[in-house]
Amino acid sequence: MYVQGEISGLMRLQDKFFNKDTAFTIEERQLLGIHGLLPPVVRTMEEQVELCLTQFLNIDEDLSRYTYMIRLAARNERLFYKLLAMHGDKCLPYVYTPTVGLACLHAPYVFQLPVVLFITIEDKGHVYNVLKNWPQADVRAICVTDGGRIMGFGELGIHGYPIPKGKVTLYTALGGVRPHYCLPICLDVGCNNSKVREDPLYMGLKRKRPSPAEYDEFVDEFMEAVVSRYGPNCLVHFEDIGNADAFRLLTKYRFKYTMFNDDIQGAGAVTLAAIASALSISNTKLQNHRFLFQGAGEAALGIANLLFVALKTEGLNDNEARSRIWLRDSKGLVVYNRPQSHLEEYKMTFAQNRAPIEKLEDCVREFKPTVLIGVSAQHDAFTREVLELMALYNKRPIIFAMSNPPSKAECTAEAAYTHTRGKCLFASGSPSPPLEYAGETYHITQVNSLYGFPGIVMGAICCCISHLTPAVFIVASHTISSLCTDDDHHQCRLLPSLNKVTLCAFEIACNVVEYAYKSNLAKRKPHPTDIRAFVKHQMYDLNYEAAIKTWLQEYEK
């Protein structure tokens, strides 16, 4: 017996949302018209996961592991997410940082259909029609990039498409967002990086980026099209947009649409959580610290702005809070009236009214920071001299080398611990193995926005939040730091271990929902009586039974 109809058995096997591969029972194979299209073995989902893990671990090259995972997701979505859920420590680095950066550099070679939705500036006037071509109609969360600033690599244009794909994968893998709610988008507005643009393998438009006015007109149409197609509560997550564009769009849209910029706001939330843990370990208060940033882009300003809010909650006024935050960019310390250097408007909030200082080590000598944060993508910017100065001025210097990938990091964990003689509290932006130094084992914290944005997205779409206020990111930050245990602090972990990241996302989602209802930002009514049950009910079901139920419902129709 088999099911007759317009959908053939082969088409059913090619549907990633419902495919079970060899987990189909013989009865199901006969019912669905796929008997004979699979080898006769019948495996449980758990057996499939272990088989996939064996295949995955037998692959030697990082990029090949990335393509293995992408192909698995395209063939059997539930199995892909089950593998991530059961073995995230082994697999997550190959669908997200740091390997996603490698995928961007080799974008033409890892391209799979359909990975993301590509919308070009030549589609202007017809963006809504392009959105309609995406096969899923009930989209609730979008991650979008224009390739303007991909990790530490700079502008890659359309070859930055693996970034939104990786982000929405974590919406589901960590946050529990149902995959068909997620839409990764790459806006192709051209590319000013001639080396990338003129490469014969470049897949995007062979043109330079438009003027800011034309760019804004295009993005305005995109945002309006999203609302028209998916409704006003569809969340738009901007990622890896160039600095000037990112700040301008955030200022323009933050209260008009349900949107956020993860490089600015998400990075701030996770970094603030790591700083809170460092303060607990050193038994100090935030108001007693001084923060020096190597870098003055999106991540630096996002972290600085949240620090500013947090310092004010401890009783400092605006001037006192700003005086504790110094930024250094490629031209030196960010100060007013810097000679022969234009100061971008988005940096003005934290510009210091003092004489310029060019070198980082001179900034450290002058300011004597207690916290040094690297977000510049300048490899080895934290020199031996800088690190030794931090140890000279501080009993427990806090040093974050957060730039991705590792080749762009301001220093290594080994350099930080060696040149501070083991005194520092250190974190990096990429995964790093434990470090042995002077007979002690140090667990290296990865300060990465994956701790924050999956839970923020899940919470936002659960309650249909109208817009994301700064308090949402403070809520996320407090949630993350609260999950650090005394044992974590004893091992100098500044964030919960990666095996808790799914729990972290769930707790953030629940707390964001609670905050949204208390603040009258939630558009979904009525107010849930049990928020945790409310969030759990909306989470993605990893088990195959959910797919079978959907199939049976379709068959009965």
Catalytic residues: 96, 167
CA distance 453 to 264: 11
> Which is nearest to 184 in space by CA: 136, 144, 237, 147?
144
Supply the DSSP string of 364-421, one letter for each residue: HHHH--SEEEE-S--TT-S-HHHHHHHHHH-SS-EEEE--SSGGG-SS-HHHHHHHTT
Task: Tell me if 302 sits within 8 A of 383, measured CB to CB.
Answer: no
On whether 149 is known to bind a ligand per the annotation, the reply is: yes
Q: Where are the beta strands (DSSP E) in 295-341?
A: 325-329, 332-333
Q: Which two tokens stand for residue 31?
A: 């019912």
How big is the chain by its Cα radius of gyration, in Å?
A: 24
Q: Which two tokens stand for residue 455?
A: 């839970």
- Contacts for 250 with CB less than 8 Å, ≥ 6 apart: 238, 259, 260, 261, 264, 265
CA distance 69 to 48: 14
User: How distant is the alpha carbon of residue 278 from its chain centre?
Assistant: 22
Beta-bridge mates of residue 332:
329
Supply the DSSP string of 263-298, one letter for each residue: IIIIHHHHHHHHHHHHHHHHT--GGG--EEEE--SH
CA distance 80 to 63: 17
CA distance 368 to 210: 43
Sequence length of the chain is 557
Q: Is 405 left (phi over 0), alpha (psi -120 to 50) or beta?
A: beta
On whether 448 is known to bind a ligand per the annotation, the reply is: yes
On whether 240 is known to bind a ligand per the annotation, the reply is: yes
AA identity, residue 200: P
Helix (H, G, I), strand (E, B) or coil at 545: helix
User: 163 exposed, middle or buried (CB, 10 Å; 0-12, 13-18, 19+)?
Assistant: buried
Torsion angle in degrees (nearest 10) through CA of 85, 264, 325, 455: -30
CA distance 176 to 178: 6
On whether 239 is known to bind a ligand per the annotation, the reply is: yes
On whether 192 is known to bind a ligand per the annotation, the reply is: no
CA distance 266 to 473: 7
On whether 21 is known to bind a ligand per the annotation, the reply is: no
Query: Residues comprising the binding site?
Result: 149, 239-240, 263, 404, 448
Query: Residues comprising the binding site for a divalent metal cation?
Result: 239-240, 263
Query: Residues comprising the binding site for (S)-malate?
Result: 149, 404, 448
